[in-house]
């Protein structure tokens, strides 16, 4: 018999006994004895009585309603709370009887009614869509009660009232999301907020101020976000840092529920992103105000490095890397082997000296020996293919020191990828529900055997039949935690250090494994906050299973080395047990060959750009023709620049004219602020060779599903070593053609030729009695020496025009703007017009080469992604047969797609090491 039934029967017997005593002693029948109100009576008052009858029933001298509202058990039953709300909604509609209405509302206010409705009842209706119609009616009644309370009791408005209003508005937005007409409810909500504000204006106490702050924060949650959080870049932008753009933020809801999954994800994403952006933004702004004038500037959130210049570009299996050189002389005391400066994954901000524009990158490789030389390797994260932004000019590096970006990056990306369909445990995390639901991997009835044989089989979900705690070797609280972990869909076990949390966790895993649940439900996922805690927990699991995979390359435990995912991948490759393994190996080799070929081309274009920027070479007209910069008729006239320009040497004004032309070009560029010509040169079409072998044509269908998901987040710092053996990295053939930039003359070659010609001439002229053969060599040396000298002098004279500043590409000459050049026009050009053409053409060669470099780099990154796809597939194969998978919290976010493809159903065990460990 339940407690309520017991109370009902007892009260019923008391009434009958009182009636008998009344007849025996002659007591009047009009005097009623105290009794407890029953559910049927409450239902009748809420649904059938008039407002006046409702207030009379509540204010009955027997005080049954007062006892009902003061009984904590009343508010444990939602159906009772709903009826109480209906009764008091009627009371709020009573005309007259003001004293009785006020007394009734005071009685309600002194109960747990507001707290229960705000924190549980409305949430239960929100979690149960089948009760939506009833919920709408309930909300109407709640608004009536809240409005009456806000008008009559100003003191309640600042605290519990705002919590109740927030709960109501959550439910209104929930209804709106499900296409219900909520215009009337929204207007009532606005009126209620206004009345609360009016009431709070008369209260200036700290309690009231706190309520006003809560109201402002709660109203923020009712506003629509200005943009979709999935469209917000994880990397901060130059504008939001330099222009002081404050982000749209809403506070975390610690009590109550979110409106829906989207609301939860939006709030968490924006708060987490601001957590690492705010210190960087504040530090940069303070540096701009003070640090640029103060060389001793120090800030707790940032580190500043000056004298930074671009050094070179590099490519490998991880992607594109930019190497910068910084002034390391200021850090002579820094121990680069152990310092936390420039940690792999740290976020760096690159600024020009005037802070006009910011670019962002992350540390992609950390080599202490290179850092000692002032060399820093980064992976660009913004303006990736704007080479000018990265390569030009001196820069300042600002390193974020208070927030480790790599952890934020993966969690933020994971939040952006979640949605209503794939978000787990929604009822608990989003709606704050507290319900007794069994794990989904368990059947309706399941007999469990525990690790101690004498305990026998136990029906898992029937806790009453479990053996006592001492039979498990546990105390009562540990047994409750053990039961909760095995029988609840969502369970949190917490306690101070030394209370046995890790021990209980190991017992849970051991019990699940002993009952073979991983065979039908998938592997157990163990997630820990730190690598040390993860290693410690997995070492404990080793005592009852060896089928463990440890994901992440930062384990320091020698016991876990054999269980790293790389070892599992090596075993899978050695076995080559399926056609899929052979296909993966072939595709991997093909991609690596293509990447190596592309890498050679990228390096060649980088070297070419460097030569053009320094003006160390004169590009051949044939190359310009191949690029589409000059046409065939121009090429016939200018087969060699040295022959074309040599006629002007006799004038003796070449050097002077070159200087004048260079000054004129610079003045013109400054006036026009031109950074590059608008019309790009016509590029010679370079068709990629489609060299697909027949053996690969049948592989597409086999791996189509596996390639469907991207694996960009699957690569740990050292994971490529196992996937790409050294023997696979040698290119067997070039699969992509590209145009080489040939130079008619290079300063280094001309200087060497001149030295050789001078030495040769000096040698032969020193022969006193030359032979006929030597005479001919002397004659050749006498002709060759001035010819080589003239070429060198010609190059040295035009050298200033050949230096290309990427920020100031020479503009299109007027003579070209008038139309194409014919042979007659080319032969009548003045020296200044010829030099202007040379400068312009070299600028166009630079633009063409830079575009090709960007194009090849993009293609290279596509191959990097393909290799990551293949690695993800290989890891998926390697995880087959694993019973336990362990990783850190940041690793779980990083490898989210992998975990989703594993499809584990047992859920996650998150263990945090005690602080003393």
Regions of the chain where pLDDT drops below 70: 1-35, 119, 129-130, 152-160, 162, 194-223, 443-447, 451-456, 572-581, 647-737, 903-917
10 Å CB burial of residue 516 (0-12, 13-18, 19+) is exposed
Q: What is the pLDDT of residue 909?
A: 53
CA-CA distances (angstroms) from residue 650 to 461, 653, 655, 824?
104, 8, 12, 21
Please, what's the largest Cα pairwise distance for the chain?
164
For strands 743-746 and 617-619, give the pairing: antiparallel
Cα gap 189→903, rounded to integer Å: 43
The DSSP result for 842-865, as a single string, is HHHHHHHHHHHHHHHHHHHHHHHH
Cα gap 753→765, rounded to integer Å: 18
Q: What is the pLDDT of residue 16?
A: 35
CB 406, CB 554: distance < 8 Å: no
Q: What is the pLDDT of residue 39?
A: 83
**DSSP tag of 841:** H
CB 93, CB 144: distance < 8 Å: yes
Q: What is the pLDDT of residue 318?
A: 77
Cα gap 378→349, rounded to integer Å: 11
Strand ranges of the sheet holding 524-528, from the earlier edge strand across to the other edge = 548-550, 884-888, 524-528, 908-911
For strands 319-325 and 347-352, give the pairing: unpaired
Q: What is the pLDDT of residue 231?
A: 93
Q: What is the pLDDT of residue 668?
A: 52
Please, what sign has the CA dihedral across residues 758, 759, 764, 766? Answer: positive
Q: What is the pLDDT of residue 222?
A: 61
Tokens coding 796: 């040295």
Q: What is the pLDDT of residue 642?
A: 79
10 Å CB burial of residue 730 (0-12, 13-18, 19+) is exposed
**Contacts by 6-12 with C-beta closer than 8 Å and gap 24+?**
7/36, 8/36, 8/38, 11/35, 11/36
**Contacts by 334-342 with C-beta closer than 8 Å and gap 24+?**
336/368, 336/371, 336/372, 337/368, 340/401, 341/303, 341/371, 341/399, 342/366, 342/371, 342/376, 342/399
State percent of the chain over pLDDT 70.
77
């Amino acid at each position: 018999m339940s407690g309520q039934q017991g109370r009902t029967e007892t009260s019923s017997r008391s009434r009958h006994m009182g009636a008998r005593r009344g007849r025996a002693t002659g007591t009047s029948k009009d005097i009623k004895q105290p009794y407890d109100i029953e559910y049927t009576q409450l239902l009748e008052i809420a649904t059938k009585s008039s407002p006046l009858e409702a207030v009379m029933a509540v204010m009955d001298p027997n005080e049954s309603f007062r006892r009902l509202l003061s009984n904590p058990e009343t508010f444990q039953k939602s159906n009772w709370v709903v009826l109480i709300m209906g009764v008091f909604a009627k009371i709020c509609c009573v005309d007259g009887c003001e004293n009785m209405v006020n007394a009734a509302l005071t009685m309600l206010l002194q109960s747990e009614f507001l707290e229960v409705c705000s924190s549980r009842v409305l949430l239960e209706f929100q979690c149960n869509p089948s009760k939506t119609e009833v919920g709408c009616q309930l909300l109407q009644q709640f608004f009536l009660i809240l409005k009456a309370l806000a008008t009559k009791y100003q003191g309640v408005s600042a605290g519990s009232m705002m919590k109740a209003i927030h709960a109501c508005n959550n439910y209104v937005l929930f209804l709106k999301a499900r296409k219900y007409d909520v215009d009337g409810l929204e207007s009532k909500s606005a009126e209620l907020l206004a009345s609360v504000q009016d009431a709070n204006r008369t209260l200036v106490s700290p309690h009231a101020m706190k309520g006003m702050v809560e109201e402002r924060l709660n109203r923020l949650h009712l506003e629509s976000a200005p943009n979709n959080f999935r469209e917000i870049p994880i990397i901060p932008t130059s504008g939001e840092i330099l222009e002081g753009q404050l982000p749209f933020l809403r506070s975390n809801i610690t009590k109550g529920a979110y409106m829906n999954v989207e609301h939860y994800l939006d709030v968490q994403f924006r708060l987490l992103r601001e957590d690492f952006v705010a210190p960087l933004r504040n530090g940069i702004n303070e540096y701009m105000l003070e640090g640029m004038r103060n060389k001793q500037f120090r800030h707790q959130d940032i580190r500043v490095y000056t004298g930074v210049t671009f050094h070179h570009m590099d490519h490998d299996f991880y992607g594109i890397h930019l190497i910068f050189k910084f002034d390391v002389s200021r850090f002579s005391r820094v121990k680069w082997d152990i310092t936390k400066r420039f940690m792999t994954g740290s976020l760096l901000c690159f600024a020009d000296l005037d802070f006009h524009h910011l670019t962002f990158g992350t540390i992609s490789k950390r080599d202490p020996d290179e850092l000692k030389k002032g060399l820093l390797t980064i992976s660009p994260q913004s303006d990736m293919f704007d080479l000018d932004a990265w390569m030009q000019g001196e820069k300042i590096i600002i390193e974020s020191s208070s927030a480790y970006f790599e952890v934020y990056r993966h969690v933020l990306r994971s939040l952006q990828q979640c949605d209503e369909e794939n978000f787990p445990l929604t009822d608990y995390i989003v709606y704050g529900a507290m319900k007794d639901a069994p794990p989904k991997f368990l059947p309706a009835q399941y007999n469990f055997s525990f690790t101690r044989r004498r305990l026998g089989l136990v029906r898992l979900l029937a806790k009453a039949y479990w053996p006592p705690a001492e039979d498990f070797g546990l105390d009562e609280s540990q047994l409750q935690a053990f039961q909760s972990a095995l029988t609840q869909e969502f369970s949190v076990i917490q306690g101070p250090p030394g209370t046995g949390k890790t021990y209980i966790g190991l017992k849970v895993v051991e019990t699940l494994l002993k009952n073979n649940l991983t065979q039908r439900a998938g592997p157990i996922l163990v997630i820990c906050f730190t690598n040390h805690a993860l290693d410690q927990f997995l070492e404990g699991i080793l005592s009852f299973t060896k089928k463990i995979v440890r994901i992440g390359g930062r384990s320091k435990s020698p016991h876990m080395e054999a269980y790293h995912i790389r070892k599992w991948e090596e075993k899978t490759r050695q076995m080559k047990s399926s056609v899929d393994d052979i296909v993966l190996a072939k595709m991997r080799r093909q991609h690596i060959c293509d990447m190596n070929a592309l890498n050679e081309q990228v390096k060649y274009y980088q070297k070419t750009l460097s030569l053009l920027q320094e003006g160390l070479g004169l590009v051949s007209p044939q190359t310009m023709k191949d690029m589409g910069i000059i046409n065939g008729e121009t090429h016939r006239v200018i087969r060699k620049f040295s022959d074309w320009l040599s006629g002007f040497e006799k004038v003796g004004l070449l050097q002077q004219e070159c200087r004048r032309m260079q000054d004129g070009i610079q003045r013109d560029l400054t006036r026009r602020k031109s950074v590059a010509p608008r019309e790009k040169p016509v590029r010679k079409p370079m068709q990629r060779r489609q060299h697909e072998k027949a053996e690969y044509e049948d592989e597409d269908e086999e791996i189509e599903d596996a390639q469907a998901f991207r694996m960009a987040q699957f690569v740990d710092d050292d994971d490529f070593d196992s996937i790409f053996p050294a023997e696979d990295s040698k290119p067997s053939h070039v699969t992509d053609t590209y145009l080489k930039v040939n130079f008619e003359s290079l300063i280094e070659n001309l200087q060497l030729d001149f030295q050789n010609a001078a030495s040769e001439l000096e040698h032969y002229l020193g022969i006193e009695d030359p032979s006929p053969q030597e005479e001919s060599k002397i004659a050749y040396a006498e002709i060759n020496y001035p010819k080589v000298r003239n070429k060198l002098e010609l190059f040295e004279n035009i050298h200033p025009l050949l230096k290309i500043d990427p920020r100031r590409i020479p503009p299109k000459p007027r003579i070209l703007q008038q139309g194409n050049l014919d042979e007659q026009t080319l032969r009548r050009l003045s020296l200044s017009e010829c030099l202007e053409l040379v400068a312009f053409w070299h600028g166009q060669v630079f633009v063409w080469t830079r575009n090709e470099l960007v194009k090849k780099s993009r293609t290279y990154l596509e191959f990097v992604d393909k290799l990551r796809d293949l690695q993800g597939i290989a890891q998926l194969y390697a995880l087959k047969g694993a019973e336990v998978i362990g990783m850190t919290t940041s690793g779980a976010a990083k490898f989210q797609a992998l975990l989703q493809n594993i499809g584990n159903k047992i859920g996650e065990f998150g263990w945090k090491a005690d602080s003393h460990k």
